Structure 1
Amino acid sequence: MPNAANNPVLIKHHRITLRDFTPADCDGFVAYQMDARYRALYNQPDSPETRTTSTALFERFLGWQAETPRKNFQIGIFDAKSDEILGCIGLRQQDMPAHVAVMGLELAPACWGRYRLALDAINLMLDYGFNQLGLGTITGSTGNGNRRITHLATWFGATLTQSRPGPDWMTQKGWHEVDWSLTRETWLAKNNFK
């Protein structure tokens, strides 16, 4: 099985492109994180500190690209035609057992409710993780109030494994954190791959 851990990520699809961020993408990333809807979800103020935090997060993603071996892949989701940033998706292996990664997905508020976009991004990233990085298990977590992500995880064959109190922003909404896990074998069987 190939190991693409130190190669730049570029995954093309007819609707979206998943690719490593470049410094030129920073403004678009910070802009969607500063959207009032995004800040309201995480109870963040419209402040210079919030903007600085988003910029620092983006710079961390760029820094991960230079690590050898590369353990964390947080890449942009872009419109295939316009190259507009639609969100980001990641697989993080740092501090995880061998062949296990944590997936995270974030769509820009303008894309909330675009289920096909989320499905495409997750499917492409699962394929990359299992078939290019040689992962055996991909896990994730979400708030129980985020039923869309929970539904997507189970649609791909993931098993809900644990529920626990979440961070403050979840608690304030009356949510708790739900963990899920998906093995390569289950994903292959669910998707009828040979």
Structure 2
Amino acid sequence: MEVKAVFLDRDGTIIEDVNYLSRLEDVKLIKGTNEAIELLKNNGYKVIVVSNQSGVGRGYFTESFVRKTHEYINTLLNNKIDAFYFCPHKPEDNCSCRKPKTGMIDEAVKHFNIDKENSFVIGDKESDVELGINAGITPILVLSGYGRQYKDSTKAELIFENLYEAAKWICQKDSTA
């Protein structure tokens, strides 16, 4: 059976973007993130984080630090994140996993048997919106993080103040479907 999912960007969407996060003590959830993820989980969504982490490729931090960061974030969120996928490559590496390419989503779709038609990609950058478009999944731009600078030029039809507002809309839409 296919399941529905919400793919979330990490920095600027669920945690504050501190530009190449390299210390656990700098991890701060954006207000409403815990409630948003709880709402999505209670409404039957898999919650999957997809994140570009080029700091690994640039030598700023290690893949094991990224994994440790994800474990820490999931602890803050009461272990409600179903999976974390990240791209450790630099933009010039031209890999298939760096957003807006769909490698991370393709892997998750196979692993979790995801129904793309009833799923969403949420992020604060146009690369997140383009990821959704490229993967055939409805994209949502949130205005947290860098979102405001894309607001007037985004290809996203759905724009919300933050993850919590997006989650409320998704779950209300579900209840009327």
Higher relative contact order (CA 8 A, sep 6+): 2
Greater strand share, 1 or 2?
1
TM-score (norm 1): 0.33
TM-score (norm 2): 0.35
Select the structure of larger CA radius of gyration.
Answer: 1
